[in-house]
Structure 1
Amino acid sequence: MPLSPDFSIGIDFGTSNTVVAIADPQGNVEALTFEHGGERLKVYVTALCFWDERHGNGLRTEVEGGPWAIEQFLEGLHAHRFIQSFKTFAASATFKETRIFRERYAFEDLLSAFLRTLAHHGGSRLDWGAGNVVIGRPVQFAGYNPDDDLAMQRYRTAFGRLGAEQAHYVYEPVGAAFFYARQLDHDATVLVADFGGGTSDFSVMRFSKAGGVLRAEPLGHAGIGLAGDAFDYRIVDKVVSPRLGKGGLYRSMDKILSIPNHYYANFARWNQLAMMKGSGDLKELRELARVALEPKPLEKFIDIIEYDLGFALYRAVSSAKVALSNHEETDFRFQGEGVDIQAKISRADFESWIAEDVDRIAQTVDEALAKAGVKPAEIERVFLTGGTSFVPAIRRLFVDRFGETRLTSADQFESIAYGLALIGQSEAPERWAVTN
């Protein structure tokens, strides 16, 4: 059944996962679910898989998204391109397009393709031309020197193609704050910390209730293009890359030179790994392997790219990170197509690798408080959302500033989308929209 105009839709388009929520005028809210493999999923993986299929005498490019993209990728029945975490390109002026088989895709083309797969699998309830549509955006987009105006232009183009031309764009932590505020029975000043895959965003909100109506005043926002993916990168950089040739040497004429590090920067970012196949990087790596003093590590690197092992490696790294949130030490193991990487990782080592990242996140928290004109003692509750909030070093950051008793959290995937949908049911959803 199509969605009634009285309903509102909240869309949390994330670096790693995307969640869509629907709210009714009575304040009831639920996540849109996707039937896949006998399961009802509330999370739609932010991934795309393109492949060629023969139709008649020619080839046609097909595309799938979410868990269907992963399924297509793992089946490997066709030549394909698997793209993940492409949100990190949103604010990059240097990212113009990528070639996928015979076509060129700008960022808005990738996002449109992804949204179409989501709409297809979401069914008739997902009508982005009906009711209020509220779309989340980070306070600070990821990437070097991010261009917020460019990112928002690309968002509006992509969502507009699916009928959401009149959508409101709201800071993601504000959405999380609305979700949390339903629990409040008194006035309160709240710090919302939203840790995504690519960004960490913080908002200070003042909530009050009058006549049973929740009112919210945003006091200050700050964000940084650094979060869970950056922590994964530290594991890759310290554990994986050295076993794939980083720091190695090669011979050029009569000189011994270091293998360039930029290949490993690309490799550590999952969204760029698949794209190395279609660029000149793979050819250059093969040439380097022929003249390397120790070619085998580089040959493993090439195998990971050629056999599309990035996703499996991503899962191994992510699993190690999660394990270190619960244990002082974990055994890292990755195997595939003859590549075998093993290492023991201690929490102490991991925390030393991410120490500078945690310091930058702490500075961003302080920036949000300063913009709000609020001292840590004046924050009544700290609402944490996102998987990175479970990393012990991050947890300690907030305990040290605010105390354990003031911390609370909710479902790491759904809270933002729920809050965005609830904003769509508020008196004036445009009041919360970011205008740029």
Structure 2
Amino acid sequence: MTSASSLGFDFGTTNSVAARATGEVSDLVQLQGPEQDDAVFRSALCFWEEGNARGALEVAAGPWAIAEYLDSPETSRFLQSFKSVAASASFEHAIVFERRYRFEEMGRLFLRLMREKAKGALDGQAGRVIVGRPVEYAGARPDAALARTRYDMMFEGFGAEIHYVYEPLGAAFSYASRLDEPATVLVADFGGGTSDFSVVRIAERGAPRRCTPLAHAGVGIAGDRFDQRIVDHLILPMLGKGGKYRSFDKILDIPGGWFNDFSDWSRLALMRNRKTLAELDKLRRAALDPKAIERMIAIVEGEMGYQLYHAVGALKRALSAQEEAHFHFEGPDLRIEADVTRAAFEEWIAPDIVRIEGAVDQALTQAGVEPAAIDRVFLTGGTSLTPRVRRLFTERFGAERIASGGELTSIAHGLALIGQQDDIAAWAA
């Protein structure tokens, strides 16, 4: 064990959490919020123009970003889930009020503002900092090396030593603190952008080395993809998806790229720029159903992304507790009311569940472990509360082997504990 404290940092797609550890004790860092303090800090930024000075922008992060956006939605820019583009070579910058921000610039802004709300707990340069990273990044063709470069620039100066550790390993170390007996554990971490799995052998308490990682696997599918399925079925048909437009003497399908961007939380707010809006207006004039494209333009211009996110999230949470729930979203010239059953939602996400199960199989195969040899399955991350996700594991491993808890905080808690280990290189990704 090291004598100095270490910092564990879980930079998540939806939420971020920090924890400090000394010895075998890890405590979450409490952050100031507009209404109350909380260890969970929303991974979001809100920009707005200040006064009459051209290019002078103010920015807020976390719950403060949400508060600023709700106060003036049409004159602000709300960015969320920006971690999703960390490994995307096609993402160069976000245009906010005609100003360009690279991923690492947004990341540094976010860290600075989060630090300001930590009541001094994150002041100054930390010693050993353990940053969580997904096993598999989100995106169609994720570039892990690019993401590492961007993370390095984002966390530059944040600590004297920066180490990266797979997020489910952080959760494994947190779970190990609850066990007294040795066990082979499958850790399943379901976040906003990725689903990650680690098979870890946990030794008895007091052993020289408590945890030994055996294998890892992941897939860039999680809560945000489930959101996309809801948007695809309930919202996009009203915005022109499946429609056609006229090009000279031909009738063509409207390109799907517009709808892919709209249903992606990390890209929806970025659609509000002059070039994109001009292209959408051109599409509106050519569309056979121009009203549908007008509705899309109105949502983008009206900066309604957060309201849409809130409505989709409310439906998911309701369907986690009951078999049927009501969906409501209201935007410019658009009102959608629909009763949605859990069975219908599970049908929408069925292709994603197949890929998630494939990643579980990959982790077990690489570890050389049969399902029967798994003593415990530790489920963590907000999306682990989705009934269909939990059923995947109860059906395969049995309900008696399933454990959960600290869905939003276990990774940071465990990462800080890893920072106390002498053999940190054995955990680094």
Scaled by the length of structure 2, the TM-score of the pair is 0.95
Count matched residues. Answer: 428
Structure 2 counterparts to residues 22-421 of structure 1, below 5 A: 22-25=20-23, 27-54=24-51, 59-76=55-72, 79-127=75-123, 129-160=125-156, 162-164=157-159, 166-209=161-204, 211=206, 215-278=210-273, 280-421=275-416
After superposition, give the CA deviation of every residue in 1:47-100 in whole Å (9 maximum; x if it has no partner): 111222137x65512221111111111111783322111101111111122232
Q: Structure 1 stretch 203-212 or stretch 258-267: which is displaced more? A: 203-212
Distance 2:98 2:92 in 1: 16
Q: Is the contact made by 2:107 and 2:154 (CA closer than 8 Å) also made in structure 1?
A: yes
Match among 4, 7, 15 for residue 6 of structure 1: 4
After superposition, give the CA deviation of every residue in 1:111-132 in whole Å (9 maximum; x if it has no partner): 1111111111113210462332
Percent identity, aligned pairs only, is 49
The structural deviation recorded for 1:319 is: 1.1
The structural deviation recorded for 1:264 is: 0.5
Look up the SS of the partner of 2:272 in the other structure.
Answer: helix
Distance 1:390 1:163 in 2: 32
Distance 1:323 1:77 in 2: 26
Look up the SS of the partner of 2:88 in the other structure.
Answer: coil
After superposition, give the CA deviation of every residue in 1:229-281 in whole Å (9 maximum; x if it has no partner): 10111111111100111112223333322222211100000110111112622
Q: Is the contact made by 1:5 and 1:132 (CA closer than 8 Å) also made in structure 2?
A: no
* Counterparts in 2 of 1:38 and 1:45: CA distance versus 1, 3 Å: same
1:359 partner amino acid: V
Q: Is the contact made by 2:3 and 2:22 (CA closer than 8 Å) also made in structure 1?
A: no
The structural deviation recorded for 1:212 is: 5.7
* Counterparts in 2 of 1:314 and 1:102: CA distance versus 1, 3 Å: closer
Distance 1:102 1:262 in 2: 22
The structural deviation recorded for 1:209 is: 2.6
The structural deviation recorded for 1:374 is: 0.4
* Counterparts in 2 of 1:270 and 1:168: CA distance versus 1, 3 Å: same
Q: Is the contact made by 1:204 and 1:221 (CA closer than 8 Å) also made in structure 2?
A: yes
Distance 1:300 1:78 in 2: 16
Look up the SS of the partner of 1:18 in the other structure.
Answer: strand
1:104 partner amino acid: R
Distance 2:99 2:389 in 1: 42
Q: Is the contact made by 1:159 and 1:165 (CA closer than 8 Å) also made in structure 2?
A: no
Distance 2:76 2:236 in 1: 25
The answer for the alignment partner of 1:19 in structure 2 is 17
The structural deviation recorded for 1:222 is: 0.3
The structural deviation recorded for 1:398 is: 0.7
Distance 1:332 1:295 in 2: 25
Distance 2:35 2:313 in 1: 25
What is the RMSD of the two structures over their aligned residues, measured on CA atoms? 1.8
Task: For structure 1, list consecutive stretches of 5 or more residues without a partner in the other structure.
Answer: none
* Counterparts in 2 of 1:137 and 1:368: CA distance versus 1, 3 Å: same
Q: Is the contact made by 1:5 and 1:131 (CA closer than 8 Å) also made in structure 2?
A: no
* Counterparts in 2 of 1:280 and 1:5: CA distance versus 1, 3 Å: farther
Q: Is the contact made by 1:204 and 1:369 (CA closer than 8 Å) also made in structure 2?
A: yes
* Counterparts in 2 of 1:103 and 1:5: CA distance versus 1, 3 Å: farther
Q: Is the contact made by 1:200 and 1:223 (CA closer than 8 Å) also made in structure 2?
A: yes
2:29 partner amino acid: L
The answer for the alignment partner of 1:430 in structure 2 is 425
Distance 2:383 2:205 in 1: 35
The structural deviation recorded for 1:102 is: 4.7
Distance 1:16 1:58 in 2: 31
Q: Structure 1 stretch 307-316 or stretch 424-433: which is displaced more? A: 424-433
Distance 1:179 1:352 in 2: 33
The structural deviation recorded for 1:214 is: 5.4
Q: Is the contact made by 1:19 and 1:417 (CA closer than 8 Å) also made in structure 2?
A: yes
Distance 1:48 1:38 in 2: 18
2:397 partner amino acid: F
1:150 partner amino acid: L
The structural deviation recorded for 1:366 is: 0.5
Distance 2:343 2:193 in 1: 23
Distance 1:343 1:123 in 2: 44
Q: Is the contact made by 2:32 and 2:119 (CA closer than 8 Å) also made in structure 1?
A: no
After superposition, give the CA deviation of every residue in 1:320-358 in whole Å (9 maximum; x if it has no partner): 112112222111110134431112211111111111110
